[in-house]
Chains A and B, each alone.
Chain A
Amino acid sequence: MSTSQTTTTEHHPALAHQFDSMEQQQDASTFGMWVFLLTEIMMFGGLFTAYLIYRLKYYPAFVAGSTSISVGWGFANTLVLIGSSFTMAMAVWAAQKGYRKSQVWLLLATMVLGAAFLGVKAKEYYDKWDECHIPGHVIGKGFNTWGGCSVTNKSLGNIAEEIRDPKHHGNPNIPEGAAEQTARQTEIFFSFYFAMTGLHAFHMVIGLGLLTWLLLRARGGEFGPSYYTPVELGGLYWHFVDIVWIFLFPLLYLISRHQHGV
């Protein structure tokens, strides 16, 4: 049944008492992680469902909101996260092969890329705070869409104007009143922007914690061909977080980028 190197009289030190073999343990643990990811799909899924319903209800506002966040940073972040998924997959491969130094460096690379992602996110959040686009009236100076909030550049953040400005893919035919109403409605877009990217970032922070723990264990030489399950599980979690972002990027950053709707 088991093709591992352990003898029949010795247990691998990592074999838990409720399992009969390392193979059963790996099988069960991997399946368990997939079941957990299932719960994550449903949790993010609930958020995606709500987002979808509001996008249909307030489409022009969602376009306006999407235009006002930086597609450049979003694009860069997507590449960063995809890169970190690659290094993570390689780290699992290295752990399975027993290449100790490679797994350590690859895990570290994954963490660095993940941290870079969070750094960019922090910058994006700061920009939104600067422009007073944080929904609600609790954080910062409160939500406003007529600009004048930013200390660095007073003309930033005027969504009502951007909706009608061709330089921002806007449409000058839209009446001012309609543009103002749409701009006010972008608050719901930003609620979802922060809720979705915030929940995602929260999962990334947890991921970084997991990676730290894996890194320490990998440095101690714990993982090899007969036991690399924790790295595999960490990989599954990390790839899932990447997949969530793969969907978040077009849904949040690329809504009708070519033009504001009428």
Chain B
Amino acid sequence: MSTATAIVKPVMPERHYLNDNYGIRSWLLTKDHKRIAILYLFSISFFFLLGGIFAALIRLHLLTPNGELFQADTYNKLFTMHGVNMVFFFLIPSVPAVLGNFLMPIMVGAKDLAFPKVNLLSWYIYMVGATFSLIAMVSGGVDTGWTFYAPLSSGYLRTHVIAMAVGILFAGFSSIFTGLNFIVTVHRMRAPGMTWGRLPLFVWANYAASLIMILGTPVLAITLILLALERGFHIGIFDPKLGGDPVLFQHMFWFYSHPAVYIMILPGMGVVSEIVTCFSRKRVFGYSFIAFSSIAIAVFGFVVWAHHMFVAGISVYSALVFSLLSYAVAIPSAVKVFNWTATMYKGSVKMDTPMLYAVAFIGLFTIGGLTGLFLAALGLDVHVHDTYFVIAHFHYVMVGGMVTAYMGGLHFWWPKLTGRMYPEAPAKLAAIVTFIGFNLTFFPQFILGYLGMPRRYWAYPPEFQVLNVLSTAGASILSVGFILPLLYFLYSLKYGEVAGDNPWQATGLEWETSSPPPTHNFHQIPVVTKEPYAYGEDAEVPVVH
């Protein structure tokens, strides 16, 4: 804890996980969780770019009301591919597979995850899924919407549904293995002294997300298998013409896909917890409340799925129950928002880039979450279901929430992953540009939806054009906000300032080892004696860049 660190310039450690072994085989056959995290970083960045390109095409098409850019069938493929790529191949793996894989063992004080070979397998399974998805895309794409509702997907469309379903199936298994690894690691691999009450909130968040991964994803697996069987063998499981029940597909699909949104957001909330406390120089407010709220979200998230089906013909009594429970599930999320705010209150807040993203998350997630309550109200949902209101809602939580948190986390832990700092000025600019672009893109969509513009429509009434143009303008700004980090992160790999072990003066085991860490994480397994987030009057102010 010497203040001499401000005077001595940090140097890169001589040997670390990136240069310990050279050659493509050392990467493709690695068992090191940190290298696997980097492999995932490349994969999901590719799909983020791909999904983003589809989004750009959608927004360009929607500049005019008459659908002049693409034909209707093509437009259907665009929004389907955007959704599938973003949800299954980017959002669900993003924080767990990149930041989680990298940090979880270090944060609990272990040498690696419990099952390193299973970890590598999970990346390969992801890549197999990605391959199927790309094959489906290149063969002409899928146009069912990312929700694959039967019987449209199981009998009526001539597109490559089965290939895409297989791709998603594999991506799902990849996440199951990641979740399994995390759960066993947290239960059985903690360092001496690392009690549950001393775990970083990032660990709690990923643990809760992992519970969802292993309990929910298998139901998606069987749903996709049944869909493929129906499509391949013309049997009537979901097709009413053959005696099946289309609502059953929705039940089975949403049983996974609703908890899936909590798989996506919980790790992001974990990132925000870590960033907010570090950049407020203050112990997080209500540690146990935040920790248990993560578990509560994971559990409650499983009993609300039919709020996606309020207008599908389910029983009104069942809908009432699901609506009530959907209100309940908002409470633990609200607890977190209050606690983060209370952490910042009277803290010594420093608005470095990670904190910009974290604060943006708190605001944007709150808006997204509250609009979710609009949708949970039965009467209101009848009006706004399948409109742009829903689209705006989930983009606020997914992009304004999750992607923002992911970007914040990438910036926060970039020095740990690479040993180098990103350049702060372009980073701050990118954060602000992203915030402006995002709100300009999606806030008009709340209004559009409320006014009645349906989703997944390739053309719209001309009176909606102004709002659509605003939205597209926002999207072009947003894309700049996402391209900038790609550029300066790459730049930082060669020209970035060497970061040193703990450039943020943060607490946590990952900051007590070198940047980048050695292959075995620690030179000596730590023994934990401190409570988490021991920021306070005796904590140091971070080194100014």
Contacts and interface: CB of A to CB of B under 8 A. Distances in A.
Interface of A: 16-19, 24, 27-29, 31-32, 35-36, 38-40, 42-47, 49-50, 53-54, 57-58, 135-139, 185, 187-188, 191, 195, 199
B252 A32 contact: no
B112 interface: yes
Given A138-B233, A138-B234, A191-B236, A43 B219 contact: yes
A137 B232 CA distance: 10
Given A43-B218, A46-B218, A46-B223, A18 B189 contact: yes
The size bracket of the interface on B is 35 or more
B111 interface: yes
B189 A46 contact: no
Contacts of A188: 235-237, 243-244
A4 B244 CA distance: 57
A114 to B, nearest CB: 23
Nearest to B237: A191
Contact of B233 (A28, A31, A32, A136): A136
A50 B237 contact: yes
Contacts of A43: 218-219, 221-222
Contact of B184 (A17, A31, A44, A53): A31
Contacts of B189: 18-19, 24, 28
A15 to B, nearest CB: 12
B234 A137 contact: yes
Contacts of B234: 136-138
A138 B233 CA distance: 6
Given A35-B180, A191-B236, A18 B187 contact: no
Interface in B175-211: 176, 180-181, 183-184, 187-189
A35 B184 contact: yes
A39 B236 contact: no
Given A18-B114, A18-B189, A38 B215 contact: yes
9 contacts: A17-B112, A18-B113, A18-B116, A19-B189, A24-B188, A39-B217, A43-B221, A50-B226, A137-B234
B184 A32 contact: yes
B49 interface: no
A199 B215 CA distance: 18
B115 A32 contact: yes
Contacts of A40: 218
Contact of B255 (A44, A46, A54, A138): A46
A185 B235 contact: no
Nearest to B192: A20
The 5 closest A-B pairs by CB, nearest first: A136-B233, A43-B218, A46-B222, A18-B112, A42-B218
B216 interface: yes
A255 B10 CA distance: 73
Interface string B246-276: 0010001001000000000000000000000
Contacts of A42: 214-216, 218-219
Q: Is the interface of B mostly helix, strand, loop or mixed?
A: helix
A157 to B, nearest CB: 18
A145 to B, nearest CB: 13
Contacts of A137: 234
Contacts of A28: 114-115, 184, 187-189
Q: Is the interface of A mostly helix, strand, loop or mixed?
A: helix
A35 B187 CA distance: 12
A40 B180 CA distance: 12
Contacts of B219: 42-43, 45-46
B284 interface: no
Nearest to A57: B245
Contacts of A18: 105, 110-114, 116, 189
A44 B176 CA distance: 15
B328 interface: no
A24 B188 CA distance: 7
A50 B217 contact: no
B229 interface: yes
B255 to A, nearest CB: 7
Contacts of A27: 188
B92 to A, nearest CB: 15
Nearest to B255: A46
A24 B184 CA distance: 11
B188 A31 contact: yes
B243 A187 contact: yes
B115 to A, nearest CB: 6
Contacts of B183: 35
Contacts of A58: 243
A28 to B, nearest CB: 4
Contacts of B232: 138
B214 A38 contact: yes
A162 B243 CA distance: 21
A139 B232 CA distance: 10
Contacts of B221: 43, 46
A54 B252 CA distance: 14
Contact of B248 (A24, A29, A50, A136): A50
Contact of B176 (A31, A39, A47, A136): A39
Contacts of A195: 225-226, 229
A140 B114 CA distance: 47
Interface string B466-503: 00000000000000000000000000000000000000
Given A38-B215, A185-B243, A49 B110 contact: no
Interface in B112-132: 112-116, 118
A17 B255 CA distance: 38
B444 to A, nearest CB: 39
A135 to B, nearest CB: 4
A46 B118 CA distance: 25
Contacts of A135: 233, 235
Contacts of B216: 42
A187 B105 CA distance: 50
A31 B223 CA distance: 27
Contacts of B223: 46
Contacts of B237: 50, 188, 191
A14 to B, nearest CB: 14
B180 A39 contact: yes
A57 B240 CA distance: 13
Nearest to A16: B116
Contacts of A138: 232-234
A58 B188 CA distance: 47
Most buried by A among B114, B183, B245: B114
A256 to B, nearest CB: 20
B187 A31 contact: yes
Given A35-B184, A187-B235, A53 B245 contact: yes
B384 to A, nearest CB: 29
B182 to A, nearest CB: 10
Given A136-B234, A136-B235, A139-B233, A39 B214 contact: yes
Most buried by B among A16, A42, A187: A42
Contacts of A136: 233-235
B214 to A, nearest CB: 5
A205 to B, nearest CB: 16
A234 B430 CA distance: 52
Contacts of A31: 184, 187-188
